[in-house]
Structure formats: C-alpha cells, structure tokens
Structure 1
C-alpha cells in the first residue's frame, strides 16, 4: 500500500492516539483468579502499558511519532511520565491535567495468554480534525475501535488530508452486523485485530474465514495470531508471517508492540509483507520480557529478518 509523504508543516510521521495504563503484572499463578480463592504469584512487576508500549516501540525504532495522551497529577501518571522521559518518548502531544487521572490494570499472566482487571477514571478526548490538520502525520494510529460520531469525524478528516488510518480493535462488543460497523471499516485503511477479536467480530471459528469476512469491507486487514505470527489480506493477496521462535515470558503488550513495528514497516518497507514481518519481530520479542519491555532498536531488526513468501 502507498503511504503519503509528509504534508506541509508535518510534525510527526505517526500520530498515536491512545490511553496509558499502569500495568501490575502477576506471573506464576497456580490457576486463573476466581471468587473466594486467595492466590499468590511467584513473580511481580509493574510497567507502563497500553499505548505507552506503542510509543516506546516507535522511540526505539527511530520513528518520528507523537503520542496523543492525557496525564494527571496522580502517582500513576507521574511514574508513566518519568519512564517516558527516560526512554526518550516524544512528549509534544502530551496533555497535562492538574488533577488525578488514574488508569490501572492488574494482569494475571500465563504463558499461553493473559487477562486483566482494569480501572480508568475517564476516557481521553480524541484530537479534533483541526488538531489533525495542524499535526499532519503520514499515519494516524488509533488504539481501539468505536463507532461514535467523534471518531468518525476524525477518520474522515484524516482521509481528506491524505493521512493513512490504522486502527486496532481491542475487544469491543461490536459485530459486523452492528449498525455502522461496515461503514466504519470502509473508512479505515488498515484494521489490526487479534485472532480472538476477529473471530468475535465475525462469528467465525477459523481465523482465515474471519479475515475474509472483514476484508470485504476494509482494504487491508492484519490479524495478529500470537504464537502463530500474523496473517493479512491486502490487494487480493494473503500473506502469512510466522512468529519468531522465542521463549514466552509475558504476553502483555505484545499486540501494541506489533502495531508499532507494522506501522514502522509501512513507512520503511517496499511492500506490506515487509511491514508485517517487522510487526511480527516486535510482537515476538515483546513477549520475552515483562509488558513488552524487550523491544528491539532499529539496528537490531536485520538479524531477525526471515521473509516468508506470500501465498
């Protein structure tokens, strides 16, 4: 696919729109948490999560990315901001509030998957079409999917400006039959659900069938399949890229890291297959440490390249 060059006065190649979460990660639990059971984890760590992982991946890959996110004066916001400064994450699109804005997730992490218990005091406001016109990125990366009018106006404004729109899914309760869903997918250039999200959205039990169903409405669909890598459909072609052979430590944040690697690839690779490969590299390496911290730097990518042919 073609990604437009920087527009007049462009301030970033990528604009990430998504909230931070302060992740508390518990590993080594004997079972999945349930009512009336006290469980003790063998290991624990806290890490900045959600869109922070995406912003961190862009910073390490050397991608010019601005992160649109609100922060409060609470301890969680302050600790996230401190980590962002330490990792040289671009802070020019940060919004600072003089009041608490707590967003916390407790993750129970297993090798095969993870679950969350989360709390957020309020959602972030989306940037306006005027904000988008001022920032003028080449790619707009949206953390999640919704069908509200405000998001639709933002996406329509991006299309009018020639900005490529990529959107994650993030376990929404929509179906393809939900009014407005097909139209929203038609406005998005690249849709990035994971396998369980794609199946839930379509009602299909197989990833390939879910991919085909979504691709009827969205020009490029990339499904993240965890240990099975990723599969995509674009311009009449299906492309598969397997995951790297790594030892899984924690899967928290892997999808957010995949998104960054993929979008970096859209800006730097000659075709979508290369972009998917970079997404898989970032997603695979992310699971080798807590919360996606084991992300590659740009100079690390070449040693993991192993391009697979499209089918």
Structure 2
C-alpha cells in the first residue's frame, strides 16, 4: 500500500544556468510527466507487484491527466479518493545532470488513511511517501504494527533533526527508513554518509540511504551494506528516489535476502534517471540483466 500524493511535473532541461530573479531562461527540452508517488505505484506495477495507491484527485485537468496515465499503465485504482473540486499538485522542475530543483504548489493536504482503513485493506507493506510526527501519522504507524504490517517511510526534506520531540520514538516504530544522503546528514548532523547511517541505525532496525551516483548504503539488523549505482547516462534525476523505494519494497516481498532487495532498489533508481521523470522503469522481466550483488561493509 503506497500512501502519497501525485504531482504533475513540468520538467525543463538544457537550461544555460540555474534560474534566478531577473533572468529569462530558455530550455532546450521540455516534458510533462506524472510524478511523486505515481512513480512508486508505476514501478511496483511494472515489477508485477499488486500495489494499492492511496491518493486524492480532484476534478481539475491535472488530476484527470494523472488518472488517465494511471489507467494506461494499469495502476490499481482501488484506493483512489475522488473530490468534486480542484485538487492540484504541480511541480516545475529545472533539471541538470548532477541534480534538480523544484518550484511546487499543492492545493490541499491528502486525507490520511485511518487505522480502520488499514484493518480493511491489510497490506503486507505500508510505504509512506514522507515522514511526519503528526498524530494521524503516528496512529497509522501504531495500527500497522498492531496488525503485523511492515512500515517503510521515506523522509522528503523534513526540517527537523534527531533532537526534535518525538523523532526518535517515531523512528523506533518504523521498520524501514529511506532518506537520501542530504536528508540523512541533516537529520543526524553528520558529514559522512556512513556515520549518518550508523547514527540512524541506532533507532531504526533497517535504514537505507539513497546516494545518487554512489548507489545506496544500508544497515539491516546491525549489518552494513553498499550497492553501487549502475553505470548509466543521467538524463533526468526527477523521480529516482520514488522509483528506488518501489524497487526496495518489491525486493522485501520477493527477493531471497536483504542484499538482493537492495540490488533491485538500486536497479530501479539507476534506470529511472535515464529518461524523463522516472519513466524508464524496468519490468520484472528486465531485472536479471542488471542484477549484481550488494556487498557488506
């Protein structure tokens, strides 16, 4: 069960410089793609995993276009929430080979699933797009644990560190924490990714840090791993983290061990950057040609 918003991504490539006030810039390339949790739901669908996507949509043109794309890709609509009003989520991305930036807008906060929803749906894994300490989120995590549902949570640029009230307690309730390198360092105050990994692993049984071109570093039950990224030509990094998360969840469900699950995550994250907005995602039949073995460190 994927819990997360959609975004309608407008992606500008080939800019001569990073945007700034007073400058008119012309992109050499442009595309729009469904983004955010759409990428996660799409990756899981292509990998052959039955995934419900808990997401709200409105009657606006952006919502309708995202729903049309979801239907075209065969994404399960069973958990879609339909609102008879605009429910716009838009991001304008300026994409460079090394990184990207966003200007974003969202109309309203998606309604959270309740403990009763979890009891009705009974997923094996609950994948949360972002991290939150609000009462609804902590109640949802507690309910998942009561039901024996594994909880995986992304981070998504929260403005807190480990000293924030309730932060450590919430991390201890999560089974898998999936920040990127920047987020992990900001949370822990560490300058080195391995130090950040060890710091977070003191509070969460499984931590996976996404490191872009350096692949991923992970800690699972006290053992450390590193999976290098595939050697690919980077086209657009938008959606890579969401695609990585999907690959890791697939791996938890279907792979024989943790190292293999981490490999699939890195395959999905690496292939995502070879096209616009994470759309060059693998199908299940593609995985074997890219498989390697993560190494313990």
TM-score, normalized by length of structure 2?
0.99
RMSD: 0.6
Aligned residues: 297
Structure 1 gap segments, 5+ residues each = 1-14
Given the alignment, which residue of 60, 63, 72 partners 1:86? 72
Q: Contact 2:262–2:294 at 8 Å: present in 1 too? A: no
Matched, 1:164 2:164: no
Which of structure 1's runs of 4+ aligned residues deviate more than 3 A? Answer: none
Q: Write the distance in 1 (CA, Å) between the matches of 2:189 and 2:12.
A: 31
Once the 2 structures are TM-superposed, how far is the Cα of residue 272 of structure 1 from its aligned partner?
1.2
Q: Equivalent residue of 1:266, what SS? A: helix
Superposition map of 1:73-222 within 5 A: 73-222=59-208
Give the match's secondary structure for 2:296.
coil
In the TM superposition, residue 309 of structure 1 has moved relative to its aligned partner by 2.6
How far apart are the structure 2 equivalents of 1:64 and 1:204? 38
Task: State the shift of 1:235 in Å.
Answer: 1.3
Runs of at least 5 residues in structure 2 that lack an aligned partner in the other structure: none
Matches within 5 A, 1:222-261: 222-261=208-247
Aligned to 1:28: 14
Residue of structure 2 equivalent to 1:69 = 55
Cα deviations across residues 41-97 of structure 1 (Å, max 9, x unaligned)? 110000000000000001100001000000000000000000000000000000111
Kindly indicate whether residue 271 of structure 2 is the aligned counterpart of residue 281 of structure 1.
Answer: no
Give secondary structure in 2 for the equivalent of 1:191. strand
TM-score by length of 1: 0.95
* 1:36-75 aligned within 5 A: 36-75=22-61
